[in-house]
A and B are shown apart, each in its own frame.
Chain A
Amino acid sequence: MTSKTVLTKRLSRDALTTPHTGSVAKGRRNTLLRWGLYAILILFALFYLMPLFVMLTTSLKSLEEIRTGSLLALPRDITFAPWAEAWSTACAGTQCEGLRPFFWNSVLMAVPAVAISTVIGALNGYVFAQWRFPGANLFFAAILFGCFIPFQVVLLPMAQMLGLMGLAGTIPGLIFVHVIYGIGFTTLFFRNYYVTIPQELVRAAKVDGAGFFRIFWSIFLPISLPIITVSVIWQFTQIWNDFLFGVSFSGAGSQPVTVALNNIVNSTTGVKAYNVDMASAIIAALPTLLVYVVAGKYFIRGLTAGSVKG
């Protein structure tokens, strides 16, 4: 989405700065180019929206209609029964209570994990950006390195550690894993945001008598809304959508919605209920969609806040 707006912006700027002198042909070429660009963009948009369209329509069809009709056709009789089933009665493995309990597991896992990793990232970033200490660069490099470690590498040691801490197979265990894994990213976000804030601000506050937490609370937190949004969206998307940690570290009562979705879709008993599968998938994806819609504007703004002045 960003690259799209940037491209169109640049194009229109080119059009504006084109000199008037003898450029009817040039102007026509620009218009052509613009239309060509729109055509391509619309094509891509359709391409990306196609699966969503199929999911949505399929989830509203009865099984009978799915079997007889075309994949791309609109539903003849709209039915919400698959949604109800997905939410409260579909079988994930042997448990037939729908997505609902797992959905709440995910909420109970994601909300604290997002909050904790954001708070820790903010404090870390504040220290790295404004309270340089000996070896800070090395620490920061190590934390950055943490962003690039693939999930699979940490699975076994993490399982061992959760076992040692007595958190194996519990929601707090999952929260712990996601917080640890998220700190690298959140620290990076906040550090890069705070590093653009002049050091003299901290110095002024120190002379005014404020200490470490006071300065953070009174001066840094109030200017952090854009980057908090970035951190929350990023972390929420990561944690809510995570499957690998969820499937590896959860127990019977603590599986997140992604794992449950997998189990519903892969349940082998009876006929394949495509409509229920689709409804489940949409339900599982809704919260991240919601977060984007609500805060997406700030997300883009926050990501570019450091690089673009004003």
Chain B
Amino acid sequence: MPILQIDHLQKSYGDTQILHDINISIEEGDFLVLVGPSGCGKSTLLNCIAGLEPITGGAVRIAGRDVTGVSPKDRDIAMVFQSYALYPTMSVARNITFGMKVRGVDKVTQDRKLTEVARQLQIEPLLNRKPGQLSGGQRQRVAMGRALVRDPKLFLFDEPLSNLDAKLRVSMRTEIKKLHQDLNASIVYVTHDQIEAMTLATRIVVMKGGVIQQIGTPAEIYNRPANMFVADFMGSPAMNLIPARVRSEAGQTRIEIDRAGDAPLVITDPVSRDLPAQIVLGVRPEDIHEATGNAHLPGTAEGAGGEVMIDIVEPAGADTFAVTHLGGKPVTARLRAESAVRARAPFPLAFDLSKVSYFSPKDGVRLN
């Protein structure tokens, strides 16, 4: 039985429809991450799941129970807010126990859970402080503690790390991951940080303009994006999207890519069939390699055709990024640090064709 099931959910504010036909289903122990650009409706969807916003159409089920008209307090959920929303006049301890107190949990249980959670989150020394006397990371932990004492069916997190500095964010990310594994909790987590999404999620939902673009595991989303939006949105540096032409020759698919100041680059794809004449070829920077004489990668560009003019070289410690121009677009390749690539000089590159995506230039939909 899915722990959370959303069927044909619609949400409008007045005449503006914010969420269009959302369908999501996750199992117990899943860590579902909602990603998408700002304003795409992530928080709205989370609030709809929590019952903080009434929905315009569809249904929400938690652990099999239809909770569509049920108020937030009766949905058996806990939520961590972007601004933490700690009660300013209550001590940390009272912030954490407030929910239990309201629900009439007895004092002994309250104290036991408080100690337990405080130890888990390492906030024991802070229990008597007010939220105003805490740092951002400490507040974040308290907000988390408030959710953890509840032991709910479903946790909802709305960008809990977005207010933290980069370093703290990384360490809190690890802690959240650990918590998820230790508790086997079911979590819905909103972020617009795609690295957070990739590292935490067991399943990712990519949204744009209130429409789900793709649902899948991080690997699926990363390796087989359903459309050009997902391809562009997930991954850093982003996937290269190169306009190309397709010719079928002797039963083989040949892909031609325009090259500045030279004949087009021609690649033979032995697997893909029935591609339209115009496509967009998507390839991640790490799937473009230095073409060496003895390495016969399936997509090695034929002969001298693999030489491209390098515009910029950016060493980045472990890797070196080389930027060239193909099909009129800048294309980034992630090469080994010791690569002999030079700016303003030709360099042989090869595409790993087992990893490329083809998209329709018209609607951006995946073709292979």
User: A residues near B, CB below 8 A?
Assistant: 198, 200-201, 203-211, 214, 218-219, 222-223
Contacts and interface: CB of A to CB of B under 8 A. Distances in A.
B103 A209 contact: yes
A249 B52 CA distance: 48
Contacts of B103: 209
B335 interface: no
Interface string B78-108: 1101110111111000000011001100000
B52 A208 contact: no
B79 A204 contact: yes
> Which of B50, B72, B85, B99 has its CB near the most chain A CB atoms (within 10 A)?
B85
B99 A209 contact: yes
A211 B73 CA distance: 9
Interface of B: 47, 50, 52, 71-73, 77-79, 81-83, 85-90, 98-99, 102-103, 146
A207 B79 contact: yes
B259 to A, nearest CB: 53
Nearest to B47: A203
A198 B83 contact: yes
Contacts of A205: 87, 98
Contacts of B102: 208-210, 214
B87 A209 contact: no
A211 B102 CA distance: 9
Contact of B77 (A207, A211, A218): A207
B83 A209 contact: no
Contacts of A201: 85, 87-88
B72 A200 contact: no
Given A209-B99, A209-B103, A218-B98, A204 B85 contact: yes
Contact of A208 (B71, B83, B88, B146): B146
B293 to A, nearest CB: 61
B89 A207 contact: no
A206 B73 contact: yes
Contact of B83 (A200, A218, A219, A222): A200
A207 B82 contact: no
Given A203-B79, A204-B79, A204-B146, 9 more contacts: A201-B85, A203-B52, A203-B81, A204-B81, A206-B52, A208-B73, A219-B87, A222-B89, A223-B88
Instruction: Say whether chain A's binding surface is mostly helix, strand, loop, or mixed.
Output: helix
A169 to B, nearest CB: 44
A200 B102 CA distance: 18
A246 to B, nearest CB: 39
A194 to B, nearest CB: 13
A203 B51 CA distance: 10
B228 to A, nearest CB: 35
A204 B87 CA distance: 9
B190 to A, nearest CB: 13
* A-B CB proximity, top 4 nearest: A208-B99, A204-B85, A222-B89, A209-B73
Contact of B98 (A203, A208, A222): A208
B119 to A, nearest CB: 22
A223 B83 CA distance: 18
A207 B78 contact: yes
Contacts of B83: 198, 200
A207 B72 contact: yes
B92 to A, nearest CB: 14
B186 to A, nearest CB: 16
A129 to B, nearest CB: 15
Contacts of A222: 89
16 contacts: A198-B85, A200-B81, A201-B87, A201-B88, A204-B79, A204-B85, A204-B86, A206-B72, A207-B72, A207-B73, A208-B98, A209-B73, A209-B103, A214-B102, A219-B89, A223-B88
A208 B83 CA distance: 16
A82 B32 CA distance: 82
A228 to B, nearest CB: 14
Nearest to B83: A200
A201 B99 CA distance: 13
Nearest to B50: A207
A223 B81 contact: no
A205 B78 CA distance: 11
Contacts of A211: 73
Nearest to A222: B89
Contact of B87 (A203, A207, A218): A218
Contacts of B98: 205, 208, 210, 218
Contacts of A204: 79, 81, 85-87, 146
